[in-house]
Amino acid sequence: MASRPTGSLIHLNEPETLETKQYEVPEPEPGAVVTEVVRANVCGSELHIWRGHHPEVKEGVLGHEVLCRVSELGDGVETDYAGQPIEEGDIVAPVYYITCQKCSSCLNGEFHLCQNAYRYWSKPPEEPPHFHGTFATHYYIHPNQYFYKIPEGLDKKIAAGANCALSQVMFGLDETGVEYGDVVLVQGAGGLGLNAIAVANEQGAETIVVEGVDGRIERAKEFGVDHVIDFREHDTVDARAERVRELTDGIGADVAVEVAGVPEAFAEGIYLLRDGGRYLEMGNVNPGHVAEFDPGTLTRKSIDITAVVRYNPWYLHKALTFLADNAEQYPYEDLIDAEFDLMDVDEALAKSDSREITRAALVPPHEHKE
Amino acid sequence: MASRPTGSLIHLNEPETLETKQYEVPEPEPGAVVTEVVRANVCGSELHIWRGHHPEVKEGVLGHEVLCRVSELGDGVETDYAGQPIEEGDIVAPVYYITCQKCSSCLNGEFHLCQNAYRYWSKPPEEPPHFHGTFATHYYIHPNQYFYKIPEGLDKKIAAGANCALSQVMFGLDETGVEYGDVVLVQGAGGLGLNAIAVANEQGAETIVVEGVDGRIERAKEFGVDHVIDFREHDTVDARAERVRELTDGIGADVAVEVAGVPEAFAEGIYLLRDGGRYLEMGNVNPGHVAEFDPGTLTRKSIDITAVVRYNPWYLHKALTFLADNAEQYPYEDLIDAEFDLMDVDEALAKSDSREITRAALVPPHEHKE
Amino acid sequence: MASRPTGSLIHLNEPETLETKQYEVPEPEPGAVVTEVVRANVCGSELHIWRGHHPEVKEGVLGHEVLCRVSELGDGVETDYAGQPIEEGDIVAPVYYITCQKCSSCLNGEFHLCQNAYRYWSKPPEEPPHFHGTFATHYYIHPNQYFYKIPEGLDKKIAAGANCALSQVMFGLDETGVEYGDVVLVQGAGGLGLNAIAVANEQGAETIVVEGVDGRIERAKEFGVDHVIDFREHDTVDARAERVRELTDGIGADVAVEVAGVPEAFAEGIYLLRDGGRYLEMGNVNPGHVAEFDPGTLTRKSIDITAVVRYNPWYLHKALTFLADNAEQYPYEDLIDAEFDLMDVDEALAKSDSREITRAALVPPHEHKE
Amino acid sequence: MASRPTGSLIHLNEPETLETKQYEVPEPEPGAVVTEVVRANVCGSELHIWRGHHPEVKEGVLGHEVLCRVSELGDGVETDYAGQPIEEGDIVAPVYYITCQKCSSCLNGEFHLCQNAYRYWSKPPEEPPHFHGTFATHYYIHPNQYFYKIPEGLDKKIAAGANCALSQVMFGLDETGVEYGDVVLVQGAGGLGLNAIAVANEQGAETIVVEGVDGRIERAKEFGVDHVIDFREHDTVDARAERVRELTDGIGADVAVEVAGVPEAFAEGIYLLRDGGRYLEMGNVNPGHVAEFDPGTLTRKSIDITAVVRYNPWYLHKALTFLADNAEQYPYEDLIDAEFDLMDVDEALAKSDSREITRAALVPPHEHKE
Ligand SMILES: [Zn+2]
Ligand SMILES: [Zn+2]
Ligand SMILES: [Zn+2]
Ligand SMILES: [Zn+2]
Ligand SMILES: [Zn+2]
Ligand SMILES: [Zn+2]
Ligand SMILES: [Zn+2]
Ligand SMILES: [Zn+2]
């Protein structure tokens, strides 16, 4: 057997302390794919862990948003998960978790809730196949880990984040059920929020965003939002609820999407919705942060709540198709506002943490920054 | 025109102060029905108002659960709302609210949320047709107020409460979606809870009740519950969640039904459900009572919440049919444990309030108690 | 009581033989509205009856698509069915049938299938309130017959047909479930088909029409269709199925909409759909015309079929809103290509029957043609 | 490497001509399981192929209903598809097809329609792993082919057929949506029909069967059917429709299930359903057999049709659970009325074909017949 190449990965030893580790790039087992990382994004969950705020995870290989170049195909891998032929050199986007098909969630056909989703992510880097995260030069796609070739012509910069926010938004909105003519209110114009605005737009909805930061408000407008409620101006829940009613013939929003990520936003949403409205909760992902919630109002208004944390893996294909169809219409390329060499990951995380930049991409040495 | 009969109604002048008022029984307008009350039940919402705990309602005609005898039919009324021919003397159960067909909720086909549901209930008794409540000798069924003849052979004692708990439970469980084999956990074995147990049973579900009062636990067993979690024994949320997992191969309940009516119960439910579980909120109906709620856990577990406060009016027909089919199987007749002459309503309310009795029926003078 | 005005209506005495009859315009009963006809359209169902092709209906008052001016409001009518205040002189569009709330269909909440939908339509004109059809100077809107004020600024010419094709199409597509990115194939570019193209477009679908008449193909393009399959060119079911696969990566359409109105089109649809596709049947409305159908192919492809014949009445409000939002984008005003004085109804029907014109409007003497 | 055992399989060389072939039992690849057959059932599809009636399949390894004993586990196989630990000697039931996760159907989450379902079934027996069918001593379970340990205490005789009729029935009824109180009409009391009766029963439905053979009528009663329509007595579609209306207050069935397997039965169903009814088509599985169908009646009655041909693979787990819960209530053990040595498969097929027996089981030499 010829000698194997060596790759590097970024390991969090303890909060805010990263180390570059090197391992031999493994051969793919049957059903797996070995790849080179083309670019990886810094997402909120990496920041959360890096800061030490995650209740359990204090160390590990970082990174989940990624675009990869296929370098070796395991036995039996002839196509991507859309049935497109795949070969070395193809650029693919992987789902960042696996679906085991065998846990209690998979047994209900709820693949987005696979109990073993992070089976490999949680392994220490010493354990083969080592390349468990995307802040690295290589990435190992496991058997039963969905991946898709990116559509022809789709900008890599745009495609690298499709496996996180957009896929989840499309899944969440489908689970919630948006209909033509619905008023969809989005709480927060971060990455999830902007995607929610774009998708709801394309589904024929009217959109409202609740936001209080100028740059984010501008961005929301570029993503086609119809109305903005600036919470610096409408600075109480009552005032915002009143403003929503003004915009909706006194009725309230048909759908609200919580992507602000604070418990109070969740509690607020039910006041912004119409009676019988539907609420999509996606922003609060860290257990243990509570807000005062009024179930009596929930009941009186008879609101339905849907909560989603990931997505059924084939939604990544829908997301890539959405980007291919709509990337010219929405300024997706502007969402990444900084690129760093992979080895400058400390700087990328620090600047992201200080909000000096919004969203950073990491580019390994074998790639050229754009 | 011949002189009209006179009827009596019970009016709440101020908290805990009732007055009997008398009015001429009106003639029915087209589409309406004038009835004599056969029996009316005392429900939690009357107690709530009577005590003065309702934030807005401090006076009015009381009563919403009722069985009536048709005395006069308005023009055009030839059948009940199931198309069954109707005539004087027939015993009918009315829905306790109206559906206006014209408000923003009715415009969505969400009749259970009609914005004008209580249009007539809120009118002062002086205003015709006076008989707006069921603690009375007569009751006026308005146009667009659904009513159904009770099925042949169905015990009146049982049928009188069908328009409240059972109708709402059947609607709520349908909205939530119970499937054969689901584990349905019911938080609280009051009226709503017992009905939820019986209906889930008949839908092929396995049932668990969380309760802490001996009499209520006994009753739940009589209504066919499969497992009891006594919260005196399992006295923390964690302990109850652990017990649910023991009963469900470590997974959690597929469906939970909140009918305890305290905000903490709502907050607890998400810990008793499996990932991807469905939660039906019905018990907390009074806005303004909050509990600490953890949306991060909701999201991580990706639970769907459905809240219902009334029901689409045709569910009363389903409820009456359910009772006709299953009254022998479940001890519905035991749910009413005290009967009072209508004029002893003070005693009925006081004894209900002190929990000396569970559920009282009021019988007007023209009827015989059973 | 002042003397009542007299109005005229067009009665079909026997196939192809019309007679103008005159009756006193009735006063509205409680809940009803008396109107003057502003304009009424000639639809396929009138032609069908006029020709004598309807198996049972050989006589009667014709007309169901209409725009009306309110002349008298019955007791209790203060708003339209969207809660908008209504007064004399307002222009309204009525649903062309009633929903009785009491039949076996209404008892299931399936108002679109009300067993008594045509209760009044079928009455002879001698029987009050006489004005049962819209080919007339006046039209009587019954209690429980939904009607809506037309949105400000909406062209009357466009609004007059909303209560038929567009309302049904919006209901049918909602029942079928169109999602962003679906390929929706429409069999036939008549009135239903053009509306289906426009609505599917606005819901984010990609559209294909199967058509073989030049003028209709042009119209489909103006209504935004993405692809045309000309059945003169693709002149077998196999050829059309092959063409659909070419347009859909070899897969077939996600949704097909049968609005050609011939049984063979229904049988064909299952070959144009992908495995697991959804089929909306609306075009074949006359029982007794059969085609050879292959249920084995239906099963192997596991296609779901939804059939709709009317719509839940509140969809007329959605349709009027859709027109107000999109009338500038699609050439709805061109769909009516001929106007006739009401008294020239013979000519209007004859020219419609010979296909000399596509869609005619009838304008009563008290109105000005546009 | 030790020498491998040899196994036998039954191959159809041409219609009605079987040959026993012998191959070395293969080692399992990663993710696969090698098993010994415990028993295999003769199902209608094998008879269809054996007779030469299948339009394309004229040869091949027969058999799809089976119970197996695990003999070797491929790398990575530690549990069944419900997460239960698995080891040599365990008795398992496999789904009879695979789900590839990558075809256009799997890409929609419609695993029951996997385009590659029969990828291995269609391979010639010469090609490893040889044991593609269940009329054999051994059976090879592929990676991505679901299998489940049978529940403790469940009779093997009963469990062997769970992967066909019952799994499909449970899936089909869920897709169709049966609610408590629905009237479910089953067209035909064969294997699918009896299962449909039992499941609908447990879901709280009222059941009607249309059948004309005494033995099958008896069986339907044992499986709990509420009403029988004997088509020898009610010998026209009109007469059967009339009888259904008599049993349903003049309305028709809420749900009908086509499991008679003749095109005329499919065409008949729409007359037996109520307006707005739901139709589950499962019986007609062979394309190319047509019946005259009236889409105008379908539309007027606005019936929804769901067609299913297989099931999402996790329904096999639901089916096994259903049997474990209900096998004492329904005489499932009587459905197999004859057992044959595997080598007497000619006799088994001939007697099945002549209807001398209803359903045969084949038992390999290494097993004892029961
Ligand atoms: Zn991310
Ligand atoms: Zn899993
Ligand atoms: Zn009540
Ligand atoms: Zn209303
Ligand atoms: Zn009706
Ligand atoms: Zn029309
Ligand atoms: Zn597949
Ligand atoms: Zn079978």
pLDDT tens for each residue of A79-104: 999 999 999 999 999 999 999 999 99
Backbone φ/ψ region at C346: left (φ over 0), alpha (ψ -120 to 50), beta: alpha
| Number of C–D residue contacts, CB under 8 Å | 148
3-class state of residue A304 by DSSP: strand
Its domain, for residue A156, covers: 6-160+336-363
CA dihedral B239, B240, B246, B251 (to 10 degrees): -110
3-class state of residue A22 by DSSP: strand
Asked if C83 lies within 8 A of B101 by C-beta distance, the reply is no
pLDDT at residue number C56: 79
The enclosing H or E element of B140 equals strand B138-141
Question: In chain C, which residue's Cα lies nearest the Cα of B80?
Answer: C102
pLDDT at residue number D57: 83
Distance between A82 CA and the closest CA of chain D, angstroms: 5
Question: In chain D, which residue's Cα lies nearest the Cα of A110?
Answer: D109
Amino acid at B221: K
User: Between B275, B284, B297, which is nearest A299 by CB?
Assistant: B284
CA of D99 to the centre of ligand 7 (A): 5
Asked if B298 lies within 8 A of A307 by C-beta distance, the reply is yes
CA of D72 to the centre of ligand 2 (A): 23
- Reported as a pLDDT band with limits 50, 70 and 90, residue A53 is confident
Mean pLDDT of chain C: 95
β-pair partners for D20: D10
β-pair partners for D230: D211
DSSP β-ladder status, D183-187 and D206-211: parallel
Same domain for A142 and A232, yes or no, is: no
| Number of B–C residue contacts, CB under 8 Å | 51
Nearest to C186 by CA among C197, C202, C175: C197
Same domain for A37 and A64, yes or no, is: yes
Q: State the best of B166, B170, B180 to mutate against chain D, taking most chain D CBs within 10 Å.
A: B180
DSSP β-ladder status, D33-41 and D360-363: antiparallel
pLDDT at residue number A369: 61
Task: Check whether C1 has a pLDDT greater than 70.
Answer: no
CA C164, CA A290: separation in Å to the nearest integer?
A: 51
The distance of Cα C345 from the centroid of its chain, to the nearest Å, equals 19
Backbone φ/ψ region at C109: left (φ over 0), alpha (ψ -120 to 50), beta: left
For residue C215, with 0-12 CB atoms within 10 Å meaning exposed, 13-18 middle and 19 or more buried, which class applies?
exposed
pLDDT at residue number A69: 98
CA of D64 to the centre of ligand 2 (A): 26
List the structure tokens of A12: 């969090």
For residue A313, the ligand closest to its alpha carbon is 2
Distance between C20 CA and the closest CA of chain A, angstroms: 42
Cα distances (angstroms) measured from residue C35 to each of A164, A262, C123, D218? 57, 55, 19, 62
CATH code (residue B113): 3.90.180.10
Please report how many Cα atoms fall inside a 13 Å half-sphere around the Cα of residue C89, on the Cβ side: 0
How crowded is residue D26: how many other Cβ atoms within 10 Å of its Cβ?
17
**Percent of chain C clearing pLDDT 90 (strictly above):** 93
Same domain for B277 and B344, yes or no, is: no
Task: Check whether A183 has a pLDDT greater than 80.
Answer: yes
CA D197, CA D184: separation in Å to the nearest integer?
A: 8
Asked if B314 lies within 8 A of C109 by C-beta distance, the reply is yes
Residue A298 domain flag? yes
CA of C210 to the centre of ligand 6 (A): 22
Task: Tell me the average pLDDT across A20-44.
Answer: 96
CA C286, CA B150: separation in Å to the nearest integer?
A: 39
Task: Check whether A1 has a pLDDT greater than 60.
Answer: no
CA C159, CA C281: separation in Å to the nearest integer?
A: 24
pLDDT in tens, A100-155: 999 999 999 999 999 999 998 878 999 999 999 999 999 999 999 999 999 999 99
Question: In chain B, which residue's Cα lies nearest the Cα of A285?
Answer: B296
Cα distances (angstroms) measured from residue D120 to each of C209, D106, D117, D127, D139? 38, 17, 8, 10, 12
Same domain for A111 and A176, yes or no, is: no
List the structure tokens of A325: 């169809």
Nearest to C121 by CA among C54, C206, C201, C220: C54
Tally of structural domains, chain D: 2
Task: Confirm if B298 and B154 have CB atoms less than 8 A apart.
Answer: no
Q: Report chain D residues whose CB lies below 8 A from the CB of C277.
A: none
Task: Check whether C47 has a pLDDT greater than 70.
Answer: yes
Same domain for B109 and B222, yes or no, is: no
Residue A240 domain flag? yes
CA C254, CA C245: separation in Å to the nearest integer?
A: 11
Same domain for A98 and A145, yes or no, is: yes
Within 8 A by CB and 6+ apart from D235, the residues are: none
Q: Report chain A residues whose CB lies below 8 A from the CB of D81.
A: 101-102, 106-107
pLDDT at residue number C370: 55
Same domain for D22 and D130, yes or no, is: yes
pLDDT at residue number D370: 56
Residue B369 domain flag? no
Cα three-residue angle D251-D252-D258, rounded to 5 degrees: 170
Residue C317 domain flag? no
Tell me the H-state helices in chain B: 44-50, 156-159, 167-176, 191-202, 214-222, 237-247, 263-272, 295-301, 315-326, 345-353
Same domain for B250 and B295, yes or no, is: yes
Residues of chain D with pLDDT under 70: 1-2, 368-370
Q: State the best of A297, A301, A306, A315 to mutate against chain B, taking most chain B CBs within 10 Å.
A: A297
User: Between D275, D285, D306, which is nearest C304 by CB?
Assistant: D306
Buried b (16+ CB within 10 A) or exposed e, D80-97: bbbbbebeeebbbbbbbb
pLDDT at residue number A370: 56
**DSSP string over A245-295:** HHHTTTS-EEEEEE-S-SHHHHHHHHHHEEEEEEEEE-S--STT--EEE-H
Task: Check whether C255 has a pLDDT greater than 90.
Answer: yes
User: Between A83, A108, A109, which is nearest D104 by CB?
Assistant: A83
CA of C111 to the centre of ligand 5 (A): 6
Asked if B299 lies within 8 A of A292 by C-beta distance, the reply is no
Task: Confirm if B311 and C103 have CB atoms less than 8 A apart.
Answer: no
Structure-model confidence comparison of residues A368 and A202, the more confident one = A202
Cα three-residue angle A322-A327-A330, rounded to 5 degrees: 110
DSSP designation for D200: H
Same domain for C134 and C211, yes or no, is: no
- Reported as a pLDDT band with limits 50, 70 and 90, residue A366 is confident
Task: Tell me the average pLDDT across C39-57.
Answer: 90
For residue D134, the ligand closest to its alpha carbon is 8
CA C79, CA C99: separation in Å to the nearest integer?
A: 18
- With the C-alpha atoms ordered A124, A130, A132, A133, is the resulting torsion angle positive or negative? positive
DSSP designation for D142: P
Cα distances (angstroms) measured from residue A224 to each of A195, A203, B228? 10, 12, 53
Residue B172 domain flag? yes
Asked if C295 lies within 8 A of D291 by C-beta distance, the reply is yes
Residue A25 domain flag? yes
pLDDT at residue number C2: 62
Residue B229 domain flag? yes
**The residue to which tokens 């709620």 are assigned:** B293
Nearest to A49 by CA among A85, A13, A21: A13
Task: Confirm if A330 and A304 have CB atoms less than 8 A apart.
Answer: no
Q: Report chain B residues whose CB lies below 8 A from the CB of D202.
A: 180, 204
Residue C107 domain flag? yes
**The residue to which tokens 């999830």 are assigned:** A192
Chain B: list its partners (3+ Cβ pairs within 8 Å).
Answer: A, C, D
CA B258, CA B308: separation in Å to the nearest integer?
A: 11
pLDDT in tens, A253-265: 999 999 999 999 9
CATH code (residue D238): 3.40.50.720
CA of D100 to the centre of ligand 7 (A): 4
Task: Confirm if B171 and B311 have CB atoms less than 8 A apart.
Answer: yes
Task: Check whether A195 has a pLDDT greater than 70.
Answer: yes
How crowded is residue C119: how many other Cβ atoms within 10 Å of its Cβ?
16
Asked if B80 lies within 8 A of C102 by C-beta distance, the reply is yes
Per CB distance under 8 Å, which residues of C are interface residues toward B?
Answer: 29-31, 79-83, 101-104, 106-109, 111, 143-144, 146, 312, 314, 317
Same domain for B51 and B132, yes or no, is: yes
Nearest to A184 by CA among A168, A192, A173, A175: A173
Question: In chain A, which residue's Cα lies nearest the Cα of D84?
Answer: A102
CA dihedral A81, A84, A89, A92 (to 10 degrees): -40
Cα distances (angstroms) measured from residue C81 to each of B98, C76, C193? 15, 13, 27
Residues of chain B with pLDDT under 70: 1-2, 368-370
CA B203, CA B179: separation in Å to the nearest integer?
A: 7
CA of C199 to the centre of ligand 7 (A): 31
Same domain for B38 and B104, yes or no, is: yes
Q: Report chain A residues whose CB lies below 8 A from the CB of C174.
A: 179
Asked if C299 lies within 8 A of D290 by C-beta distance, the reply is no
Asked if B106 lies within 8 A of C29 by C-beta distance, the reply is no
pLDDT at residue number A79: 97
User: Between D29, D107, D146, which is nearest A82 by CB?
Assistant: D107
Same domain for A251 and A228, yes or no, is: yes
User: Between D107, D143, D312, which is nearest A314 by CB?
Assistant: D107
CA A295, CA B282: separation in Å to the nearest integer?
A: 9
